[in-house]
Amino acid sequence: MKTIPLILMGCGGVGCHLLQHIVSCRSLHSSQGLCLNVLGVSDSKSLVVTEDSSNKGLDDKFLMELCRVKRDGGSLSKLGDLDCRLFSHPELQERILELASQLGGKTGLVFVDCSASSNTVAVLKQVVDMGCCIVMANKKPLTSTMEDFEKLYAYPRRIRHESTVGAGLPVIASLNRIISSGDPVHRIIGSLSGTLGYVMSEVEDGKPLSQVVRAAKSLGYTEPDPREDLGGMDVARKALILARILGQRINMDTIQIESLYPKEMGPDLMSVEDFMNSGLPLLDKDIQERVEKAASNGNVLRYVCVIEGSSCEVGIQELPKNSPLGRLRGSDNVLEIYTRCYTSQPLVIQGAGAGNDTTAAGVLADIVDIQDLFP
């Protein structure tokens, strides 16, 4: 039996779903000769660690109780168990690095970042030097400075981050295979936001933008403040990761980002309630005119990232109605990759690109994918 010990940083929606997947897949993994040992779990305030990191991980019943506490809005500090130790915020980084030092270069250790924090970058940069592996759903470490990105990618076999771009979709794996084959990538264009994919396909049917955004919010497709989606920053982070994988040495301020709302309606100037009730309706006319103009040309509007040459842009594009992106409906993600081998007909990757369950499944697949690095 091959054992992979891991530390999970971040136990919100994605992190808890990952723990549930690990527990539910025990039988499957056992039949494959694999065991995933969760040695510790941290949130932003606390770290729970098994008492015996050399022999076993946290008990599955304890992991399920941890998920219940987090779903109810509680903190790890509320948990107590004879077989675990609890560390408070000031000790988090010190204890995590201690575990990395003990296990990283010996039996191996995986650090799984399912947080949404930029504070994990410092830890990840240190543990990768200690021989640890890194699996990420968190986009922020890879969209930090170019220096941080290169440090994390210093050992490419030890890093997996499929879920930073397309949840469970094989975007990064496909792109890496193309690059490894020597097939030059000329252009990438993709709808990488399930929220904005839904919004643009609905306004195509003639519905007002304000109505569509309200519906998306009620369906749980958007963040509590829909401007976090409408501003395009999430798509820009995904685009930056793809561009850097292709070799572009760029930062976020290099990317042209089109926001679907003006600065005057920003979070610092307008409350969420005011934006939804009085701000959004003011945007209906402009979007509708753009939809009608595209339709007159036989096209549709999609909110996409475009990476071509040394340029990287994020915003609304007018695209052929019969193209893979033009046929997009609902909240799926679609990515078109154009290379020497895929010139007239691009490689198309499509499927559910959001959701805690789907993202966690992608993280678990990444963990299993690095098992050959463990004795």
Which residue in the list 238, 263, 285, 293 is annotated as catalytic? 238
DSSP 150-168: HHHTTSGGGEE-THHHHTT
DSSP 324-375: TTTT--TTEEEEEEEESSSSSS-EEEEEE---HHHHHHHHHHHHHHTGGG--
Task: Say how far apart CA 22 and CA 177 lie, in whole Å.
Answer: 27
How far is Cα of residue 342 from the mean position of the Cα atoms in its chain?
26
Evaluate whether 65 touches 78 at the Cβ level (below 8 Å).
Answer: no
Q: Is 108 annotated as a binding residue?
A: no
Q: Is 334 annotated as a binding residue?
A: no
Q: Is 125 annotated as a binding residue?
A: no
238 noted as active-site residue = yes
Q: Is 213 annotated as a binding residue?
A: no
Q: Is 263 annotated as a binding residue?
A: no
How far is Cα of residue 111 from the mean position of the Cα atoms in its chain?
16
In the chain, beta strands by DSSP E = 2-9, 34-42, 46-50, 84-88, 110-113, 133-136, 159-160, 185-191, 256-257, 299-308, 311-320, 332-339, 347-352
Q: Is 10 annotated as a binding residue?
A: yes
Task: Say how far apart CA 111 and CA 77 lie, in whole Å.
Answer: 21
Q: Is 232 annotated as a binding residue?
A: no
> To which residue do tokens 């594009």 refer?
317
Tokens of 300: 């549709």
Give the CA diameter of the chain: 69
Q: Is 13 annotated as a binding residue?
A: yes
Task: Pick the closest to residue 116 from 233, 246, 280, 274 (CA basis).
Answer: 233
Report angle CA 120, 68, 36 to the nearest 5 degrees.
60
Task: Say how far apart CA 120 and CA 92 lie, in whole Å.
Answer: 11
- C-alpha distances (whole Å) from 200 to each of 98, 300, 339, 351, 369 are 48, 9, 27, 17, 35
Task: Say how far apart CA 133 and CA 156 lie, in whole Å.
Answer: 10
Catalytic machinery residues: 238
Binding residue ranges: 10-15, 139, 223
Annotated binding site for L-homoserine: 223
Q: Which residues are annotated as a binding site for NADPH?
A: 139
